[in-house]
Structure 1
Amino acid sequence: MSDFISDGCQDFGRALCVITGASKGFGRELAVQIAGLLKPKSVMLLVARSGKQLAELKDDLVASDGDKSQLVVHCIQADLGKKEGVEKTIRVAKETSAMDIDHLLLINNAASLGDVSRFAMSFTDREEVDAYLSLNVSSVLSLTAGVLQAFPWRHGLRRTVVNVSSLCALKPFPSWVLYCTGKAARDMMFRVLAEEEPDLRVLSYAPGPLDTDMQTQARCYSGDVKIRQSFSSMFAEGRLLTCQESGAKLMRLLLDDDFPSGAHVDFYEL
């Protein structure tokens, strides 16, 4: 078992923080919030397909750091739906494994909605389904395993793995078969990980309905009329959540560190 016992922390320590899907939306906001909670000489690995957006985020993080030598930021342009993208990310993480850190924080945020205009009976193309699962499920397990192997348990090292989840991991949404399947698989994946590795702190966090590009896609293209109308009403009535307010709840949850490892926690439960 880990020797880390917390009654609530004010920061994440001197950490290596890996965030996938960091270039925009919730991932970008998490990078900004986490950067302000890291001790000097921490390292952030920001992973996404868009190199330009990652570079812009890096500039913003460095500019907000009072002493530019205090935070090291590496941008990893990679498609995690492909083997090469996962291997590249793990390789860069391994290159930092000799650093003196007291916290490994891995945020598995990268995900795609999939084609929500269609219903389950239309997905006869196995290659299409495999491609979706490669990014949203397979890569998550491979990346998590590779990063954890690069940073095995040792005295004084806290290791935290976060899966950005969804209500869709628990509840079926018509015309969202790919997304619901991927999120449910990821939740179970991390529940198993928590059982197998008791020294880890493992969390699946459902951030709620966020005002992001993915939400725009959902309310415009969902094949199920009720779902499309529901999200459209939430948008029109200003009931969508901002990435900032949901991210702030996740930060508090991680800093308080009193959740059962492997738990699924929803924004509205906090």
Structure 2
Amino acid sequence: MHLYIVTGSSRGLGAALAGQLAQPDHTVIGIARKLNPSLQAEQWPVDLADPLPAAERLQAWLRVHTGWQSATLINNAALLSEPGPLAGSDLAGLSAALRVGLEAPALLSRVFLAETSNVPERRILNISSGLGRRAMAGSASYCAVKAGLDHLSRALALEEPDVGIVSLAPGVIDTDMQVQLRGADPERFPEQTRFQGLKDGGQLQTAEATASAIVRFLLRPDFGKTIVADIREA
């Protein structure tokens, strides 16, 4: 059996990934704040803005469930704080975005690496963004956590050379996050018109199509060769 752990699995790209990975010989665990009734996977309703309980639950579960042929952790969950200057952001919202986007992946990766050491084939896929590589005004926290995921992946690849580790930018996807960016106040978020233009120009990919490309990428024999990657260039 092959194990897949997907965060942010209740909607968008996470739901599409968990759904496509739900195969007869796969065990899929979805971790998200809410349940997705249509998802054929084991689901843990956990808020990753408080990531320690989620990491502890995964640790306990992995210590009981062993014998996997392969194990994969997909850190997909992200939380976008209200678009606008950092100085005007809500403190609680900012804290939640940073914890979901970077603290949770670090804790879950720590548990995953420690508790799957006997699994023959292991992968960690961190869903990053082009904004982790190109700064954008009005989204400092999102840029920071995605850049952090890139560098976390680089460091873990040095520590764990036998584990396939990739931080992958998935392209521009038509998700609730895009709706939030298009609906932002242009006076506080100067890039609003650009994101509206992506929608108007038909340049957004569906979550299902992006998930299909990511699953193909994930299962490639050379997964992990390029640590910081972009699905559009893979």
Choose which of 94, 102, 125 in structure 1 pairs with 2:63. 94
Within-5 A mapping of 1:177-216: 177-216=140-179
The answer to whether the aligner puts 1:164 opposite 2:127 as a matched pair is yes
Bigger shift: residues 140-149 or 18-27: 140-149
SS at match of 2:203: coil
The match for 2:30 is 46
Deviation, structure 1 residue 252: 1.8
The answer to whether the aligner puts 1:122 opposite 2:103 as a matched pair is no
Deviation, structure 1 residue 218: 1.0
Supply the distance in 2 between the matched residues of 1:266 and 1:146 (Cα, whole angstroms). 26
The answer to whether the aligner puts 1:138 opposite 2:106 as a matched pair is no
Is there any run of 5+ residues in structure 2 with no aligned partner, and where?
none
Number of residue pairs matched?
231
Choose which of 6, 9, 20 in structure 1 pairs with 2:7. 20
Answer yes or no: is the 8 Å Cα contact 1:107–1:161 preserved in 2.
Answer: yes
* Aligned CA distance change for structure 1 residues 160 and 197 (closer, same or farther; 3 Å): same
Answer yes or no: is the 8 Å Cα contact 1:108–1:163 preserved in 2.
Answer: yes
- Asked which structure has the greater CA Rg, the reply is 1
Letter in 2 for 1:43: T
Answer yes or no: is the 8 Å Cα contact 2:63–2:115 preserved in 1.
Answer: yes
Aligned Cα root-mean-square deviation (Å): 1.9
Deviation, structure 1 residue 240: 0.5
Supply the distance in 2 between the matched residues of 1:17 and 1:187 (Cα, whole angstroms). 21
Bigger shift: residues 140-149 or 250-259: 250-259
The match for 1:109 is 76
Supply the distance in 2 between the matched residues of 1:128 and 1:29 (Cα, whole angstroms). 26
Deviation, structure 1 residue 168: 0.7
Answer yes or no: is the 8 Å Cα contact 1:26–1:247 preserved in 2.
Answer: yes
Is there any run of 5+ residues in structure 1 with no aligned partner, and where?
1-13, 62-72
Supply the distance in 1 between the matched residues of 2:221 and 2:165 (Cα, whole angstroms). 10
Supply the distance in 2 between the matched residues of 1:192 and 1:204 (Cα, whole angstroms). 11
SS at match of 2:9: coil
Supply the distance in 2 between the matched residues of 1:141 and 1:238 (Cα, whole angstroms). 35
Choose which of 197, 201, 217 in structure 2 pairs with 1:233. 197
Supply the distance in 2 between the matched residues of 1:140 and 1:130 (Cα, whole angstroms). 15
* Aligned CA distance change for structure 1 residues 243 and 228 (closer, same or farther; 3 Å): same
Supply the distance in 2 between the matched residues of 1:130 and 1:266 (Cα, whole angstroms). 27
- CA offset digits 1:39-73 (Å, max 9, x no partner): 63x3111111103x2xx133xx3xxxxxxxxxxx3
Supply the distance in 1 between the matched residues of 2:134 and 2:70 (Cα, whole angstroms). 33
The match for 1:176 is 139
Answer yes or no: is the 8 Å Cα contact 2:8–2:32 preserved in 1.
Answer: yes
TM-score by length of 2: 0.91
Supply the distance in 2 between the matched residues of 1:254 and 1:85 (Cα, whole angstroms). 24
Supply the distance in 2 between the matched residues of 1:257 and 1:183 (Cα, whole angstroms). 25
Letter in 2 for 1:121: A
